[in-house]
């Protein structure tokens, strides 16, 4: 199985190419607010480096959110453009699951945090049984409403939350990466693939209506 993966949900912009269990190549950089310019260049570089042909692909994976509104729109629009020309399916990969996986597996439960804006973070809980397994839906929280819960967790992976967790030693920084998107898309292809993704939209999860939720 051959999959092209795209990550634009955070400041990281990247593309990755996987054949079965082997990640062939990844091109990505931290490029805040430059995804629209960087993504086509990274794709072209990947094509040159690998000889990738869209006609050979089984699908295109995309980090689907939550995350940056603009980044998610750019990534999905670009992936749809590539896919429609070849009649390829899309594989939407949950951004928080990919970020959780970037921190490695951990016995028991883990929590992932992704910074949104001001004092708002997206959070989701996972267990690890043959890979990461979501235990709830991703939701936005004000930091003050989730801080004590974060402190009680044994394993926490974050991106962009340094202002909140500098003194929390059990929290590690994750790595949003197109490479992880490609691996998850390969592992969950049959479960997540969308053969007619015309109406596929990013999983924005609006952070503007934040209330207290059960963790």
Give the DSSP letter of residue 136: S
Q: Nearest Cα to 161, choosing from 105, 109, 103?
A: 103
Cis peptide before 62 (omega within 30 of 0): no
Q: Nearest Cα to 184, choosing from 94, 71, 124, 72?
A: 94
Tell me how far CA of residue 178 lies from CA of 4, 17, 24, 185, 189, in angstroms: 9, 9, 12, 10, 16
**115-139: buried (b, 16+ CB within 10 Å) or exposed (e) per residue?**
bbeeeebbbbbbebeeebeeeeebb
User: Which residues, in sequence order, are bridge partners of residue 61?
Assistant: 5, 91
Cβ neighbourhood burial of 165 (10 Å; 0-12, 13-18, 19+): buried
**How far, in Å, CA of 120 to CA of 130, rounded?**
31
Cβ neighbourhood burial of 191 (10 Å; 0-12, 13-18, 19+): exposed
Domain boundaries, the chain: 2-94+176-199, 96-173
Examine domains 2-94+176-199 and 96-173 and report if their fold is the same: yes
Domain spanning 96-173, CATH class: alpha beta
**Neighbour count for residue 144 (Cβ, 10 Å):** 10
Q: For the segment 1-15, what is each residue's pLDDT rounded down to a tens digit?
A: 999 999 999 999 999
Q: For the segment 63-98, what is each residue's pLDDT rounded down to a tens digit?
A: 999 999 999 999 999 999 999 989 999 999 999 999
Cβ neighbourhood burial of 8 (10 Å; 0-12, 13-18, 19+): buried
**How far, in Å, CA of 100 to CA of 1, rounded?**
24
Q: Which numeric CATH code is attached to 2-94+176-199?
A: 3.30.420.40
| One-character DSSP codes across 37-65 | HHHHHHHHHHHHHH---GGG-SEEEEE--
Confidence of residue 212 (pLDDT cuts 50, 70, 90): very low
pTM for this predicted structure: 0.94
Q: For the segment 104-160, what is each residue's pLDDT rounded down to a tens digit?
A: 988 889 999 999 999 999 999 999 987 899 999 999 999 999 999 999 998 999 999
With 70 as the cut, is the pLDDT of residue 213 above it?
no
């Amino acid at each position: 199985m051959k999959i092209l993966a795209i990550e634009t949900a955070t400041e990281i912009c990247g593309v990755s190419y996987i054949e079965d269990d082997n990640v062939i190549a990844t091109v990505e950089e931290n490029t805040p607010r430059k995804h629209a310019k960087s993504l086509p260049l990274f794709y072209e570089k990947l094509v040159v480096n690998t000889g990738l042909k869209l006609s050979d692909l089984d699908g295109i994976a995309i980090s689907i959110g939550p995350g940056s509104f603009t980044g998610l729109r750019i990534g999905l629009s670009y992936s749809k453009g590539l896919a429609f020309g070849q009649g390829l399916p899309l594989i939407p990969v949950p951004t928080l699951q990919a970020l959780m996986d970037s921190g490695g597996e951990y016995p028991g439960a883990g929590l992932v945090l992704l910074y949104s804006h001001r004092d708002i973070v997206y959070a989701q809980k996972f267990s690890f049984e043959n890979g990461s397994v979501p235990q709830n839906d991703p939701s936005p929280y004000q930091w003050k409403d989730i801080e004590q819960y974060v402190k009680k967790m044994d394993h926490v992976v974050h991106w962009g939350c340094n202002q909140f967790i500098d003194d929390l030693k059990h929290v590690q920084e994750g790595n949003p990466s197109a490479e992880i998107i490609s691996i998850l898309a390969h592992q969950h292809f049959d479960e997540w693939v969308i053969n007619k993704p015309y109406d596929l939209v990013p999983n924005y999860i609006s952070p503007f209506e934040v209330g207290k939720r059960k963790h």
